[in-house]
Amino acid sequence: MQTKPQAKYLKDYQGPSHQVASLELTFDLHPTKTNVKAKARYTATDEQTSLRLDGVDLNLLSVSVDGQPFEQYECTHEHLLLSGLPKDFELEIETEISPQTNTSLEGLYLSGGTYCTQCEAEGFRKITYFLDRPDVLTIYTVTVIGQQSMPHLLSNGNQIESGQLADGRHFAKWHDPFKKPSYLFALVAGDFDLLEDEFITRSGRKVDLVLFVDKGNLTKAPHAMASLKRAMEWDEKRFGLEYDLDIYMIVAVDFFNMGAMENKGLNVFNSSCVLANQQTATDRDYHTIESIVGHEYFHNWTGNRVTCRDWFQLSLKEGLTVFRDQEFSSDLGSRGLNRIDAVMAMRTHQFAEDVGPMAHSIRPDKVIEMNNFYTVTVYNKGAEVIRMMHTILGEENFQKGMQLYFERHDGCAVTCDDFVAAMQDASNVDLSQFKLWYEQIGTPMLTVETEYRAQSNTYACSIKQKHAQNDPIQSPLHIPFAIELLDKSGHALPLIVNGERVSKVIDVTQEQQTVVFERIPERPVAVLLEDFSAPVLVKYDYHLSELIHIIAHASSDYARWEAAQQAFQLEVFKGVEQFNSGSDITLASELLDTFSMLLRDRRGDLALLAELIRVPSFDTLSSCFEQTPVDALNTCIKRFERNIASQLVEPLKQAFEACEESGELTHDAVSARALKNVCLYYLAMVADDKVTKWIDNQSESDNMTLKFGALKAAFNAQLPTAEDAMANFDSQWRHDLLVMDKWFALQATQIGEQAIAKIKSLYEHPCFDKSNPNRVRALIGSFARNNPEEFHRIDGEGYKLLGDLLIELNAINPQNASRMLTPFMSWKRLDEQRSKLMRAQLERLSQLTDLSDDLFEKVEKALG
Ligand code: B3K
Ligand code: ZN
């Protein structure tokens, strides 16, 4: 019988039993018999004589204490328990591990022919026995021994020695002068092409920058390098933070569970988040790469120099670093569009997590498998909480807070409370009520009512806050609520309260609050929660005409997009009713007219225009319903798209033709391509000869954004040419798996009686590989997320496809399996028949005898 995985609780936190002064590691690399020697100086923090080290899947070869063989130990499945120890001693442990058979991609593993490591959160224990917890920081010296066929032997910090060995192998020795926790350790060994550059810091130090990519991929490396240099410069300018080592290395590997990892001085990246040129990568990919390169770089201060005391504090580094990478992208690109991206992630994924069985606060207090908590809540909502502090304090005070945080905690492992305390002390702004954001669970709801009083020229706005049912915190939160009042021409009216001009951010701190704005000459249109100033839901009875007014006239890109989203929402509510009563589903003509006007006008950012006229996704819209009306929603989305296509043929054509697209990577060119692709997507649904020709031409483009845009348009509209186009793409790109991922993702969106069988048959495609997370995510992740029609088939075949795969992944790669399981977490929000079918898949999983902790935790919660 398997023992039930045990949960850990924040309330049980205790400091480490020992401090570690230094750690010397020696790796003798071998695919199945890598020898690891770990020599460390331990000092007990009190009188105890025993030490419990973490270690999993290790073959223990020997233990010695102060140079003498030591036998007073017990070795269990997850620990090494030593007893009868002095207070201060040197411990040397020799173990053997097998990177080749490690398909979990955690610990030391082989990716293609490259050795690499992934230690966050608790992967170091798969390498050697150690106090594998973030509050044990020490100085690492690492020797890597390998074959000559692996010319590059890398670890953190600076290389201090290297040389040949008698047996024809060679070694390299690395020393990292900064104390770090085990999760930031990294080792890489392989044969690469190198892109080298340098950066001079503002204090004049030279830093070598090296990008290691698979042989033959050098033409795809410059964008990541340029992104890194931009990130280094930006962090100096905006946060005053400078890089601290003499070398910064990034290695791209093909087998990786997430985007990238911020190991000190030696980032390991998923190759999909590094490699790009215009032939192989879309503009979106370029943006993602810049933001992830930035994110990992920014961790050097927020995460590495100041790290987390325990894993419950993960948002301390992740929420803050996401906030920093969002600001980086916004300062360098379009603030409005970046905000739209961030809010979309919140609304579509985080709000869904909040109403599902995995709902947790940004600082969770109970965890079974830590890898399950690298969530949109900890990351994205965590970033929103930091953003609210920034809004409340303002940039200047926020930066003072950051400075104080580093002054107090550099080199330490701290808590979210420590961060808030630094912000509060530096700014003298009381954040005691605000701190509840770290504990509350679920999405708070603000109900807003407004009243215009013509006699007094006042506009009263009353706001009521309500917590989610599953929220343990039921006292009011401190919510920065931004509001704008637009006049008839769309200009923001000055906000005057009690005779004084006030900022647009209202501090909502009570359960119910009313603000009366004065000197309002006419009934205004209210823009509520401007810029998504807090991660909350707003309930307000908008009239479609008010939303159209905002879309057409507001000056803020974000407000216009938000209004378009709300308008689609209103239309969907109406459409679902029409579906239920069997009547025709159509988009309101006022909305179509507005889109038509915008397309003809083409003022402002074309990428924004592309976003304005895009019908929100199934997942985004389903979050507006307590129970997802699957069939009605699928029908509405399709009908709306066809409506736009058929009613706006001319303006869409006009816009498509008018888009000057220079083929460059400037913001304007990227925006033009975005609009072109949206136009083509719609036009393909009503394709005439002209449109077909445009699609054919664009499919030949050597710019991947355009090429793939055309392919997607043809495939989605099931044009007669689509099948050949897909086959051509396949034969053109088989040599490039990252490009093939786009093809797999598109294949996954196909519909029709044979869809499931066809998607399943792609498992046999020569490029597909279930042990590679990128392939799995491209095909099956995209199926579950972007193909609601087939995934939610009423015969349950879509759920079965995912269920079958999860059973296989559970044995290969539990972390990836657990992430892929997420769509099943919302089974309770489906109709009776579908929820039964989904539940049946969860039950199948729960019966597995070798169910991983990762899946166990989520399945148990889902079924509980
Ligand atoms: N810190 C890593 C994520 C590690 C995930 C472990 N399951 C990447 C990042 O957030 O920057
Ligand atoms: Zn991060």
Q: Is 784 strand, coil or helix? A: helix
Please give the distance, rounded to the nearest whole angstrom, from the Cα atom of residue 322 to the centre of ligand 1. 11
Taking the CA of residue 815 as reference, the ligand 1 atom at the shortest distance is 7
The kind and range of the H/E element at 725 are: helix 722-733
Assigned token pair, 797: 């075949």
Please give the distance, rounded to the nearest whole angstrom, from the Cα atom of residue 295 to the centre of ligand 2. 6
pLDDT attached to residue 2:
58
> Could you tell me the CA-to-CA distances from 847 to 3, 329, 841 in Å, in that order?
14, 45, 10
Query: Nearest ligand, CA of residue 120?
Result: 1
* pLDDT tens for each residue of 590-618: 999 999 999 999 999 999 999 999 999 99
- Sheet of 458-466, strand order: 512-517, 458-466, 445-453, 537-539
- For ligand 2, an ion, list residues with CB under 5 A: 318, 321
Taking the CA of residue 292 as reference, the ligand 1 atom at the shortest distance is 11
Of 296, 367, 370, 303, give the one whose Cα is nearest residue 137: 303
Q: What is the mean pLDDT of residues 172-197?
A: 98
Taking the CA of residue 318 as reference, the ligand 1 atom at the shortest distance is 10
Taking the CA of residue 120 as reference, the ligand 1 atom at the shortest distance is 6
End-to-end Cα distance, the chain: 21
Residue 263 has pLDDT above 50, yes or no: yes
Q: Whose CA is nearest to atom 4 of ligand 1?
A: 120
Please give the distance, rounded to the nearest whole angstrom, from the Cα atom of residue 259 to the centre of ligand 1. 8
Give me the numbers of helices (H) and strands (E) for the chain, helices first please: 28, 33
Assigned token pair, 740: 């093939």
Residue 59 has pLDDT above 60, yes or no: yes
Q: Whose CA is nearest to atom 1 of ligand 1?
A: 261
Portion of the chain with pLDDT greater than 70, in percent: 100
Of 200, 230, 224, give the one whose Cα is nearest residue 212: 224
71 is catalytic: no
* pLDDT tens for each residue of 426-459: 999 999 999 999 999 999 999 999 999 999 999 9
Assigned token pair, 448: 């807003």
Phi, psi of 365 (to 5 degrees): -120, 5
Q: What is the mean pLDDT of residues 176-194?
A: 98
Phi, psi of 119 (to 5 degrees): -110, -25
Assigned token pair, 273: 């988040």
**Strand duo 413-414 + 73-75: pairing:** unpaired
Spatial contact of 140 and 265, defined as CB atoms under 8 Å apart:
no
Query: Nearest ligand, CA of residue 317?
Result: 2
Spatial contact of 508 and 444, defined as CB atoms under 8 Å apart:
no
> Could you tell me the CA-to-CA distances from 190 to 148, 152, 155, 599 in Å, in that order?
9, 5, 12, 52
Residue with token string 């980032």: 267
Residue 229 has pLDDT above 60, yes or no: yes
Residue 660 has pLDDT above 90, yes or no: no
Query: Nearest ligand, CA of residue 259?
Result: 1
Of 621, 552, 654, give the one whose Cα is nearest residue 829: 621
* pLDDT tens for each residue of 768-814: 999 999 999 999 999 999 999 999 999 999 999 999 999 999 999 99
Please give the distance, rounded to the nearest whole angstrom, from the Cα atom of residue 644 to the centre of ligand 2. 39
Q: Whose CA is nearest to atom 3 of ligand 1?
A: 261
| DSSP annotation of 278 | T
Q: For 301-306, which contacts have Cβ atoms below 8 Å and span 24 or more sequence positions? A: 301/235, 301/239, 301/241, 301/406, 303/262, 304/178, 304/180, 304/184, 304/262, 304/264, 305/178, 305/244, 305/406, 305/410, 305/411, 306/405, 306/406, 306/409, 306/410, 306/411, 306/412, 306/414
Mutation pick for ligand 1 pocket among 262, 314, 371, 815 (CB with most ligand atoms within 8 Å) = 262
**Strand duo 512-517 + 458-466: pairing:** antiparallel
- CA dihedral 640→646→649→655, nearest 10 degrees, is 10
Q: Which of 262, 296, 318, 369 is catalytic?
A: 296
- For residue 1, what pLDDT band results from cuts at 50, 70 and 90? very low
Of 716, 698, 715, give the one whose Cα is nearest residue 707: 698
Measured between alpha carbons, how far is 256 from 106 in angstroms, rounded to an integer?
9
Query: Nearest ligand, CA of residue 321?
Result: 2
AA identity, residue 300: N
Spatial contact of 312 and 246, defined as CB atoms under 8 Å apart:
no
pLDDT attached to residue 661:
82
Query: Nearest ligand, CA of residue 270?
Result: 1
Please give the distance, rounded to the nearest whole angstrom, from the Cα atom of residue 126 to the centre of ligand 2. 22
Of 350, 345, 252, 260, give the one whose Cα is nearest residue 296: 260
Taking the CA of residue 257 as reference, the ligand 1 atom at the shortest distance is 7
Q: What is the mean pLDDT of residues 520-543?
A: 98
Ligand 1 binding pocket (C-beta < 6 A) is 120-121, 258, 260-262, 295-296, 299, 318, 371, 374
Q: Whose CA is nearest to atom 10 of ligand 1?
A: 318
pLDDT attached to residue 658:
96
Q: Whose CA is nearest to atom 8 of ligand 1?
A: 261
Please give the distance, rounded to the nearest whole angstrom, from the Cα atom of residue 781 to the centre of ligand 1. 19
Q: What is the mean pLDDT of residues 170-188?
A: 98
* pLDDT tens for each residue of 359-382: 999 999 999 999 999 999 999 999
Please give the distance, rounded to the nearest whole angstrom, from the Cα atom of residue 299 to the centre of ligand 2. 7
Q: What is the mean pLDDT of residues 98-104?
A: 98
* pLDDT tens for each residue of 632-650: 999 999 999 999 999 999 9
Taking the CA of residue 379 as reference, the ligand 1 atom at the shortest distance is 10
| Mean of the per-residue pLDDT values of the chain | 98
Query: What are the chain's domains?
Result: 1-191 (2.60.40.1730), 192-274+293-299 (3.30.2010.30), 307-438 (1.10.390.10), 448-548 (2.60.40.1840), 734-864 (1.25.50.10)
- For residue 4, what pLDDT band results from cuts at 50, 70 and 90? confident
In DSSP terms, which residues pair with 95 in a beta bridge? 36, 60
Please give the distance, rounded to the nearest whole angstrom, from the Cα atom of residue 465 to the centre of ligand 2. 31
The length of the chain in residues reads 864
Mutation pick for ligand 1 pocket among 258, 307, 324 (CB with most ligand atoms within 8 Å) = 258
> Could you tell me the CA-to-CA distances from 672 to 235, 613, 669, 706 in Å, in that order?
30, 14, 5, 10
Measured between alpha carbons, how far is 357 from 825 in angstroms, rounded to an integer?
7
HEC-encoded secondary structure of 812-853: HCHHHHHHHHHHHHHHHHCCHHHHHHHHHHHHHHHCCCCCCH
Q: How much is the CA Rg of the chain, to the nearest whole Å?
A: 28
Mutation pick for ligand 1 pocket among 256, 308, 374 (CB with most ligand atoms within 8 Å) = 374
* pLDDT tens for each residue of 307-363: 999 999 999 999 999 999 999 999 999 999 999 999 999 999 999 999 999 999 999
